[in-house]
Amino acid sequence: MNNPLYSFIDLFAGVGGIRLAFTRNGCSCVFSSEWDVHSQKTYQKNFGELPYGDITKIEAADVPDHDILTGGFPCQPFSTIGKREGFSHPTQGTLFYDIARIIKEKKPSVFLLENVAGLYSHDSGETFKVIKKTLEKELGYWVDDKILDSADFGVPQHRKRVYIVGFRKDLSPNKNFQFDWPKKEQNKVGIGQFVEKGISGYTISKHLQGSYIFKKDDGRPQIIDTDSNIQVKTLVSTYHKIQRLTGTFVRDGETGLRLLSENECKAIMGFPEYFEFPVSRTQMYRQMGNSVAVPVVEKVAAQIVKQLARLHEAQAKYKLKTA
């Protein structure tokens, strides 16, 4: 990329959803890490780069300097792990600890972290409390956080996630710091326009339909077709297991009912059609279910870039005045 605005690193990268979002905002990825070999394969296919593996085995000093740190880290209880292992820091032994040690070493201007909405209530609220204290008090960042639903940002899926944004305190002396979160879009996007017709190979057998899928008349599971002007339920990593309570299925195929196609999954997650999955269908579902909704992160990234540029501009003016 010629003259990128800012550099970023892609931790817990998955298949690269966050990378897509920041690259579209003129930023350049200088490092990526993902331990799952199947996700690494998909990442390499689409970005021409094999992510580094286990983040716990990577020295923070070896990570390239960067402006923005990004990562969708797993939700783990600090209290039980810390007490069990007798660690000196409450986050040690969890993957958030690796984010914290890299931030401490490299001191990026900004970070963006993403997690499930349940992070707020996880371990009776203790998990988030420790995360915020670590980022604000120990690492020196102004932190703002919010739950965003992908359905409010042009994605035909309800997917609520916690987004945590932090700006290094020396960039802004304002103690009342607030991040300029992207505004919700007024018009929702329905799934119907993305539903494919005549798709084969994704069928759900008549036997399974009768014995499990439609065993109760309770309005479940969610069934969609080309006329569905709704946002589907959250796509989960276990979608391939065909769960009637959480699943969304399509009125189509040889038996009249099928699983979501690869292209439909891409639409649901906001991935471009050209994105490739050189893995099994089961792995594709897992990877999509574990990913971020790209358009949401893209809009958050746009606000990060704008706000960071304003802070840098203000700093430059201040230096000129005091020179």
Calculate the CA 53 to chain-centre distance.
18
In 3D space, the residue among 138, 136, 142 whose CA is nearest the CA of residue 167 turns out to be: 142
**Which residue type occupies 266?**
K
Query: Could you give the angle at the alpha carbon of 258 between the alpha carbons of 255 and 261, nearest 5°?
Result: 140
- Report the alpha-carbon distance of residue 49 to residue 291 in Å, rounded: 18
Q: Which residues of 224-247 are buried (b: 16+ CB within 10 A; e: fewer)?
A: beeebebbbbbbbeebbeeebeeb
Q: To 5 degrees, how large is the angle CA 8–CA 301–CA 95?
A: 55
Candidate list 27, 29, 75, 265, residue with the active-site label: 75
- b/e burial code for range 75-98 (CB count within 10 A of at least 16 → b): bbebeebbeeeeeeebbbbbbbbb
Using CA of residue 121, residue 123, residue 124, residue 127, what is the dihedral sign? negative
Peptide bond into 74 cis (omega under 30): no
Over its C-alpha atoms, the chain yields an Rg (Å, rounded) of: 21
Structure tokens at 305: 């870039």
Of 265, 285, 282, 281, nearest to 273 by C-alpha is 265
State how far the Cα of 323 lies from the Cα of 142, in Å rounded to an integer.
Answer: 27
Please indicate whether residue 75 is annotated as part of the active site.
yes
Active site residues: 75
